[in-house]
Structure 1
Amino acid sequence: MQRPQPDDRSRIRVLHRWYAVTWALLGLCPPIVSVLDHTGTTRYWWSLALLAVIALCYALVAGRPRDPVLRPHAFLGVLALGLGALSCTRGDGAALFIVSLPHFWLFARSPRHAIVFSGIAAAATVAGIAFHRGDADIATGNIVFTLVGYAAGVLLGLAVTRIVEQGDERTRRLSTELEDAHLRLLEAHRLQGATEERARLAREIHDTLAQGFASIIVLAEAARSGLDTDPARSAQQLLSIENTARENFAEARVLVGSASQVSLTPGSIARTLRRTLDRFTEDTGLTVTAELPDVRCDQPARIALLRCLQESLANVRKHAAASTVDVALAQYTHGVELEVTDDGHGFVVEDSHGFGLNGMRKRLAELGGELTVTSSLGDGTRVLAVIPTNGQV
């Protein structure tokens, strides 16, 4: 049987106390009152002694029902024998037997023990009534009352036990289901966390290492093709390859946690973006105009702005076929804005589902910002990243 919870134990203790009061008032007090007419007689002293022994045994066991020394079954044995002795002494132990029946179901280890002990008590009570040899009609009525009470007690006790067992079974089943649901929820959270972490790493790798390797490949191809015709230009491209590889190495250290993200954007965001644009100009030869005032923003915002610029420039290099790029950084009351515009051939925004644009949107959304992409075929592309400084876009 499932161990009672603290609230259950409190309710059980309250029920025991109420039953103890009821048993004392309806079970013990009437015999005491009835023997007052025989004060000083042997019957008087025997009755008081038996009632005192029963009450004392109950008081000892009721306080510690699980005590290995104060065995509850010992109390039930004393109660059964005491009921028989009282019936033998007074001839009217049926009422006390009926009132005492719950004891056998409260203290017995199992329904089988309750039936056996209450049966012994019923037999002792009937034997005591028969031995007393009082009025035959009264004795017969008490015997019938005792036997009927025993049968009713057994039926009622089994019914209550069955109800309690069914309740315990439902409680165990619900507890098992709740535990299973809790484990499934923990597993779902773990999987969700792992999925989110994989998505984050994929986005970081795409925005950093993948872009750097793509740039290295383009520069290496250009350097190889110009070794004979323009060695100075090839040397510059090789230097760019070296610098890009160093940057990729720094990005990789950040991804594996061996370096801080602060190293990615040292100083102000304007200087960081300017270095990125200078590298882009050296690698592509495109005309770049930039307005990069020194704006105030925290480290996550600086990294997000740097990633958005890197992804936008990578898209210009790979897809736009542009000749000029305009970059503008500005700070307003609602937040910081980064705008990147090119004069390339453009694209249909609704048809674009690239990883880069979605990655920029998710990165900005994590900071409460948003990304707006405006483009059409033949009209170039405008990318606007907005990061709020007051928690609102």
Structure 2
Amino acid sequence: MLQRPQRGDPVWVWVLHGWAITAWGLIALVTLITMLGGAPTDRKLGILALTAVLALCYAQVRRPPGDRLPGGYGYLGVLVVVLGLLSYLGDGYGVFYAVTLSQFVVFADSPRGVILCSGLGALAITVGGSLREGGQAEAFLGNTLSSLGVWAVAVGMALLTPRALAQRDERAALRAELKDTQLELAEVYQRQGAAEERERLAREIHDTLAQGFASIIVLAEAARSQLAVDVHRSAQQLQSIEQTARENLAEARVLVGAAPSSGVAPGSLAATLRRTLARFTEDTGLDVTADLADIVCDQPTRIALLRCTQESLANVRKHAAASTVGVVLTQGADAVELEITDDGRGFAVEDSRGSGLDGMRKRLAEFGGGLTVTSSLGDGTRILATIPLALDGQV
């Protein structure tokens, strides 16, 4: 049975359903005219009863699947009988066959079924009309010719409809495939977004909380070892531990969304780096030289360069065994450059397996920048971070 048309169905499917609905308006109109006309009462009642039975059967098969009686062919059988009886009762009622022609297509489930059932309808109105006219040969021949003409239209509809339905099914399959693809893409984007967010959080934790805790451990060990020798130095280290713990707490609140900003106070990049270097000198006692240009940049860029500085200094503290550290911040023609060097033991860059350098590269890549690491065993290390300038000369 042809289902109700959906958005995107071929025009022919909509025409069939529109035709089926319009047919009932015409049937109701003709029946009303007959009731108001001068036909005998018994004939009027017979016509009214037949159209009422047909309407009730139609309403039953058009109900939702769970409520209707099974089988569109049962309704078509009733339709054939009613058409034959109406043609017998009233002159001109054979036109109902043409009016209801689309219903044979709607309720039959195959072209063969449409051709057979509509052929039976043509036979029914031919026989009914001929009997009403006395069964004469001329009347039978005339009714047969007119019925065959309408039946030919039904055959054409039966052949045309499967193509329209195949086109509808193809479009429906394409729509379903497109919807599935969209859902898959949405899931991919969601997983990708979740992975990127996890990676971002891991990088932030490594560059803030993990470095802070590592610093606290180093300071605590130093304070404990010098507690009996240099009380003043131990007190300074304990103060640094307290300050680092407070900073870690602030960063933790930022990461869990309890604080509105990055945890880095706004201000000049050079001033921010000087405070970081001063803390580093106080905690480690290393000699730090700094040449920091007063560069104007936005807060995200300032945070990126600060994190690179913090990560580089943490590596110096943990791995380099250096005595001096140099930090240079300059603004070139097309990029800002941050260079951090030390005179420590160095390392083989190609053998590095830590996540710190990789995190720095990814952080700088978000701004279109890059990271260059130069080092070898016994020759110290040079870290160069670059971020391109915007068109207005700012970063």
Given the two structures, how large is their TM-score scaled by the length of structure 1? 0.72
Secondary structure of residue in 2 paired with 1:261: coil
Unmatched tracts of structure 2, length 5 or more = 21-37, 40-50, 63-74
The equivalent residue for 1:214 is 214
Q: 1:82 to 1:269 in 2, by over 3 A?
A: farther
DSSP-derived class of the 1:377 partner: coil
Gaps of 5+ in 1: 20-44, 47-56
One-letter code aligned to 2:133: H
How far does the alpha carbon of each residue in 1:273-293 deviate from its partner, in whole angstroms, 9 at most, with x for none?
111101111111111000112
Aligned partners of 2:345 and 2:377 also within 8 Å: yes
1:148 to 1:2, Cα distance in 2 relative to 1, 3 A? closer
Cα RMSD, aligned residues only: 4.2
Residue 133 of structure 2 aligns with which residue? 132
Deviates more, 1:299-308 or 1:363-372: 363-372
Question: CA 1:83/1:157 → structure 2, altered by over 3 Å: closer, same or farther?
Answer: farther
Residue in 2 aligned with 1:296?
A: 296
Q: Per the alignment, do residues 196 and 314 of structure 1 end up closer, same or farther by CA in structure 2, a change over 3 Å counting?
A: same
Letter of the 2:384 partner, please give it. Answer: L
* Alignment CA distance shift 1:117-1:381 (3 Å): same
Question: Match of 1:292, as an amino acid?
Answer: L
Does structure 1 conserve the Cα–Cα contact (< 8 Å) formed by 2:80 and 2:120? Answer: no
Q: CA deviation at 1:164?
A: 4.9
SS at match of 1:296: coil
Number of equivalent positions: 342
C-alpha separation in 2, matches of 1:186 and 1:16: 37
| Shift in alpha-carbon separation, 1:250–1:17, aligned structure 2, 3 A | closer
The SS at the match of 1:341 is strand
Mapped contact 1:129–1:143 kept (Cα < 8 A): no
DSSP-derived class of the 2:377 partner: coil
Tell me the residue number matched to 1:285: 285
1-structure distance, mates of 2:224, 2:271: 32
Deviations 1:239-285 (A, max 9, x none): 11111111111111111122233541332111111111011111111
The residue number in structure 1 matching 2:390 is 390
After the TM superposition, which residues 118-157 of structure 1 pair with which residues of structure 2 at under 5 Å, given as runs? 119-129=120-130, 131-132=132-133, 136=137, 139-140=140-141, 143=144, 146=147, 150=151
Task: List per-residue Cα deviations over 1:301-341 (Å, max 9, x = no partner).
Answer: 00001000000001111111111111011122313211101
Displacement after TM superposition at 1:117 (Å): 7.3
> 1:182 aligns to what SS in structure 2?
helix
Percent identity reads 56
Instruction: Judge conservation of contact 1:80–1:117 (CA < 8 Å) in 2.
Output: no
C-alpha spacing 1:183/1:3, structure 2 compared with 1 (3 Å): farther
Q: How does 1:147-226 map to 2 (within 5 A)?
A: 150=151, 160=160, 162-226=162-226
* CA distance 1:3–1:270, shift in 2 (3 Å): farther
Q: How far did 1:132 drift?
A: 3.4
Deviation string 1:368-388 (CA, Å, 9 cap, x unpaired) is 111111122222111111112
Which structure dedicates a bigger proportion of its chain to helix? Answer: 1
Displacement, 1:299? Answer: 0.4
Query: Contact between 2:9 and 2:171, CA under 8 Å: does it hold in 1?
Result: no
* Aligned-partner Cα distance in 2 for 1:198–1:280: 29
**Counterpart check, 1:80 vs 2:83:** yes
The one-character-per-residue Cα deviations of 1:186-205 (angstroms, maximum 9, x if unpaired) are 22222111111111110000
Does the CA-based 8 Å contact 1:265-1:302 persist in structure 2? no
Hey, what does 1:4 align to over in structure 2? Answer: 5
Deviations 1:208-236 (A, max 9, x none): 00001011111111111111112221111
Contact 1:374 1:382 in 2 (8 A): yes
Q: Per-residue displacement from partner, 1:145-204 (whole Å, max 9, x unpaired)? A: 746974x67766555555555555444444443333322222222211111111111000
Moved more, 254-263 or 223-232: 254-263
Other structure's SS at 2:266 match? coil
Alignment correspondent of 1:267: 267
| 1:49 matched residue in structure 2 | none
Partners of 2:166 and 2:14 in 1: how far apart? Answer: 21
Separation in structure 1 between the aligned mates of residue 120 and residue 368 of structure 2, nearest angstrom: 76
What is the alpha-carbon distance in structure 1 between the residues aligned to residue 19 and residue 107 of structure 2? 21
The more displaced of 117-126 and 242-251 is 117-126
Instruction: Report the counterpart of residue 26 of structure 1 in structure 2.
Output: none
Deviation at 1:100, TM superposition (A): 5.5
1:83 and 1:125 in contact (8 A); partners too: no
**Maintained 8 Å contact 1:344/1:380:** yes
Match of 2:375 in 1: 375
Q: Are 1:97 and 1:121, in contact at CA under 8 Å, matched by a contact in 2?
A: no
Q: Is the 2:125–2:147 Cα contact (8 Å) retained in structure 1?
A: no
Q: Deviations over 1:344-372 (max 9, x none)?
A: 12222222232111111111111111111
1:361 partnered with 2:361: yes
Aligned-partner Cα distance in 2 for 1:3–1:212: 67
1 CA distance for matches of 2:149 and 2:12? 30
Tell me which amino acid in the other structure corresponds to 1:241. Answer: I
Do 1:97 and 1:125's aligned partners in 2 also have CA atoms closer than 8 Å? no
Contact kept, 8 Å, 2:97 with 2:121, in 1: the verdict is no
**Alignment check: 8 A CA contact 1:327 1:340 kept:** yes
